[in-house]
């Protein structure tokens, strides 16, 4: 007889296939296809030169669909787990009905927001374990110590949990097609700059966070004097872009999301 978690396992395996396809195709792109370029503009009225993002990598929109399927499968795996736990409990009690249609794997950032209706057909011991696996539980929150917790919002910290990332991305994707775009996964290196037809001072470099977009300001310089017809500043965009899905660095964060889902399945596998 098939194991009750075979369906969930199949979903996780299929999610990885979608992810690895995108990862493989992205990694196969040559460096120039991933390049972010910069351009500068002289503002004579303010005596400043602004350096902005001029171009970002062209992204295959098919990857959006692949990653959408990936996240959907992972969320389904958690819901399949909860459904099978509910079926197991009802059978133990001698009930022949199907679990409630509200049955699904809950994910929340605060204990008082835990949706009991979603697990009302589960054994109380299994509900306790699911609560222990929640983003707000000590299992996750105890990693935040000392200065990190000082004045911190516990729900804000819980929102960083990989399972919450999964839920947010999957919920958003149900309402619109989310585009994949380029992002800098590490601290952006400033790099050298060279002024042409001008002298500049007081360089100001802007922190690049989130999705790179054409027109985003990268740096700004005060123009001390103009010495030629085309005052400008040239500098390299020293960043290694990765991919984001709805602003989330999916190539970097996927492993944590999948690890949580697999861990939840393994936690309950011996029940069946």
pLDDT at 174: 64
pLDDT band at 116 (very low <50, low <70, confident <90, very high): very high
Across the beta sheet with 48-55, the strand order is 37-43, 48-55, 217-226, 198-205
Phi, psi of 207 (to 5 degrees): -65, 130
Helix pair 62-92, 6-27: axis angle to 10 deg: 160
- Which one, of 237, 235, 242, 236, lies nearest residue 186 by Cα? 242
Q: How far is CA 220 from the centre of its chain?
A: 30
Pick from 121-125, 191-195, 205-209: least confident: 205-209
pLDDT in tens, 76-105: 999 999 999 999 999 999 999 999 999 999
- Which one, of 88, 62, 120, 114, lies nearest residue 268 by Cα? 88
pLDDT in tens, 222-250: 999 999 999 999 998 877 788 888 888 89
d(CA 113, CA 232): 55
**Other CB atoms within 10 Å distance of the CB of residue 97:** 8
Where are the extended beta strands (E) located within 131-216? Answer: 180-183, 194-196, 198-205
Q: Which residue has the higher pLDDT, 189 or 14?
A: 14
pTM of the model: 0.86
Collapsed DSSP state (helix, strand, coil) of residue 107: coil
pLDDT at 74: 98
- Which one, of 116, 49, 117, 119, lies nearest residue 78 by Cα? 119
> For the chain, which residues make up each domain, given as ranges?
6-271
**Other CB atoms within 10 Å distance of the CB of residue 262:** 16
d(CA 30, CA 172): 31
């Amino acid at each position: 007889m098939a194991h009750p978690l075979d369906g969930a396992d199949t979903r996780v395996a299929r999610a990885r296939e979608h992810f690895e396809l995108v990862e493989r195709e992205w990694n196969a792109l040559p460096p120039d296809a991933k390049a972010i370029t910069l351009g500068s503009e002289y503002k004579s009225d303010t005596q400043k030169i602004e350096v902005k993002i001029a171009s970002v990598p062209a992204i295959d929109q098919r990857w959006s669909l692949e990653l959408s399927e990936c996240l959907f499968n992972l969320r389904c795996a958690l819901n399949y787990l909860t459904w099978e736990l509910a079926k197991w409990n009802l059978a133990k009690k001698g009930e022949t009905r199907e679990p409630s249609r509200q049955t699904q794997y809950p994910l929340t950032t605060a204990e008082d927001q835990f949706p009991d209706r979603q697990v009302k057909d589960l054994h109380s011991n299994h509900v306790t374990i699911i609560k222990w696996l929640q983003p707000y539980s000590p299992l996750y929150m105890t990693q935040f110590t000392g200065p990190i917790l000082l004045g911190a919002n516990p729900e804000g910290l819980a929102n960083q949990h990989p399972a919450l990332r999964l839920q947010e991305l999957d919920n958003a994707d149900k309402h619109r097609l989310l585009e994949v775009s380029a992002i800098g996964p590490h601290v952006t290196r400033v790099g050298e700059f060279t002024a042409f037809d001008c002298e500049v001072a007081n360089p100001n470099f802007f922190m690049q966070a989130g999705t790179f977009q054409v027109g985003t300001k990268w740096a700004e310089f005060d123009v001390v004097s103009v010495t030629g017809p085309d005052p400008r500043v040239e500098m390299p965009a020293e960043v290694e872009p990765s991919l984001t899905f709805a602003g989330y660095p999916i190539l970097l964060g996927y492993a944590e999301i999948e690890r949580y889902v697999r861990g939840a399945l393994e936690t309950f596998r011996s029940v069946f």
